[in-house]
Amino acid sequence: MKKLSFATALALVLAAGPGSAFTASNGLQVTDQGGGTFLVAYGGKSGPRAFWCAAGDYARRVLGLRVTDNLWRMSEPPRGAGQGVIFSVSPQGAATDAGIARFGPPSGRFSVGRAQNYCNDPADMVRED
Q: Is residue 127 part of a domain?
A: no
Q: What is the per-residue pLDDT across 54-112, written as a single tens digit (0 to 9) for each?
A: 999 999 999 999 999 999 999 999 988 899 999 999 999 999 999 988 877 789 999 99
Q: For residue 108, give every residue at least 6 positions away whose Cβ sits within 8 Å of its Cβ, in sequence order, or none.
A: 72, 73, 74, 94, 95, 96, 97, 98
Q: Which amino acid is at 124?
A: D
Q: What pTM, to 2 d.p., does this model score?
A: 0.79
CB 93 within 8 A of CB 75: no
Number of domains in the chain: 1
Q: Which domain holds residue 79?
A: 2-122
Alpha-carbon separation of residue 41 from 1, 23, 36, 47, 111 (angstroms): 32, 10, 16, 12, 20
**DSSP bridge pairs for 35:** none
